[in-house]
Amino acid sequence: MQKLKRLWDCLGLFGAVLVSLQWGQLAQAASKTSQSNNIGFSVAAKIPDNQIDKKNSFFDLKLTKGQTETLKTTIYNVTAQDIKVQTAIHTAYTNENGAIEYVTPAKSFDQSLQYKMTDITKLQGAKTVTIPANGSKVVSAQVQMPTSPFNGVILGGWYFKRVDQKVTSEVKGSMNIKNQYSYVIGMKFTEGHVPAPKLSLDKVTVGMSNYHRGIFPYLRNTTAVIVPNLKTETTITSKNSGKVIKSAKKSGVQLAPNSVYRYPMLTGERKLQAGQYHLKMVVKNSEHKWVFEKDFAITAAAAKTYNAKSVDNAGINVIWFIVFGALGMLILVLLGLWLVFLIKKRRQSK
């Protein structure tokens, strides 16, 4: 039953549909869409004169110490009715997929992050605005750059979500899905010179990711710069036996400025074992290369806890609950039809 509960929790994630999560896609999210937009609205940034690259349709601005600036975005309503759109400013960070996250707010930030986008950029006016049918509305945000000298990039996003959509039908006891559509316009502010990236391997722990157990190296970017297109090669060796217990490769990793990448090395059906281990991680892109090595331990208590909670345990997997449930329903339906057939046949014989 505990596995089934986790399954339904995971299925609930399908209730949100978010668009334009990658930095390279932000330009598409920022441009006005056609009248066939089935989301019902679109957004477009009003690009100021201090834009670094005029081809970008997100905010890619060169700013100075203490500078203030008002940024504006137009929200377009392509429907025949008024709609409400909620807006927010988010600070970018690196998520567990190794991508820069602009949509979901972070629960915590790396201690090296000096200035958050949410600290220096504030919305002007109401956070939720009404856009008239087949019309548009301009919303504003005020930027106040730090008065202390700063070198590097401050990264975030201007988030827009339609909030007045209703569930079309509701059945008591059933799981209703409500779609939520959103856009995010990237905000990249550069001041002074951009430093060279510095990465470090902070720690290695064991834990969970979406109810799957694993080993988690924490890769830190302690500089105010985006580190793009990284490839990682990681090997974990048991210090007791000398055997490799886990190896993994990952490409396309993008690190946000001053953020931590909690890299999930999931162990699958292999249970966590208490002991002493050694991790080696090679991280590189076309311009830089880092090699990290670190010893770490898995305690018996941690192994027991996460092994018990994991949905990866050998035996009856979650998928088999679905299969057996479907077979059970099929058998019940067939039994019902068989009983109906017998009753009709008995009545006919009488």
- Are the CB atoms for 239 and 277 separated by under 8 Å? yes
Radius of gyration of the chain (CA): 26
CA–CA distance, 65 with 292 (Å, rounded to integer): 36
Q: What is the pLDDT of residue 319?
A: 53
CA–CA distance, 330 with 10 (Å, rounded to integer): 25
Answer yes or no: CATH 3.40.50.10490 is held by domain 199-309: no
Per-residue confidence at 166, pLDDT binned at 50, 70, 90? low
pLDDT tens column, 47-63: 999 999 999 999 999 99
Mean pLDDT, range 105-133, rounded to an integer:
96
pTM of the model: 0.78
CB atoms within 10 A of CB 324: 11
Query: H-helix or E-strand containing 24?
Result: none
Per residue in 117-129, is it b (16+ CB within 10 Å) or e — as a string? Answer: beebbeeeeeeeb
Q: What is the pLDDT of residue 313?
A: 82
CA–CA distance, 295 with 260 (Å, rounded to integer): 19
CA–CA distance, 154 with 145 (Å, rounded to integer): 10
Q: Residue 26, class by beta-carbon neighbours within 10 Å (0-12 exposed, 13-18 middle, 19+ buried)?
A: buried
Q: What is the pLDDT of residue 326?
A: 73
Q: Which of these, 283, 310, 109, 95, lies nearest to 215 by C-alpha position?
A: 310
Output the CA–CA distances (angstroms, integers) from residue 236 to 198, 277, 297, in the order listed.
23, 7, 11
Per-residue confidence at 179, pLDDT binned at 50, 70, 90? low
Q: 50: which 2 tokens?
A: 């201090």
Mean pLDDT, range 209-223, rounded to an integer:
97
pLDDT tens column, 61-84: 999 999 999 999 999 999 999 999
Q: What is the pLDDT of residue 111?
A: 96
Q: Which residue has the tokens 């722990």?
A: 205
pLDDT at 322 over 90: no
Q: What is the pLDDT of residue 175?
A: 45
Query: H-helix or E-strand containing 193?
Result: none
Per-residue confidence at 178, pLDDT binned at 50, 70, 90? low
CA–CA distance, 241 with 245 (Å, rounded to integer): 10
Handedness of CA 256, 261, 265, 271 (dihedral sign): negative
pLDDT tens column, 252-280: 999 999 999 999 999 999 999 999 999 99
Q: Which of these, 84, 83, 87, 104, lies nearest to 13 by C-alpha position?
A: 104
Domain residue ranges of the chain, discontinuous segments joined by +: 14-191, 199-309, 318-350
- 14-191 CATH choice from 3.40.50.920, 3.30.2040.10, 1.10.3720.10, 2.60.40.10: 2.60.40.10
Mean pLDDT, range 319-341, rounded to an integer:
70
CA angle 240, 241, 242 (to 5 degrees): 100
Q: What is the pLDDT of residue 334?
A: 79
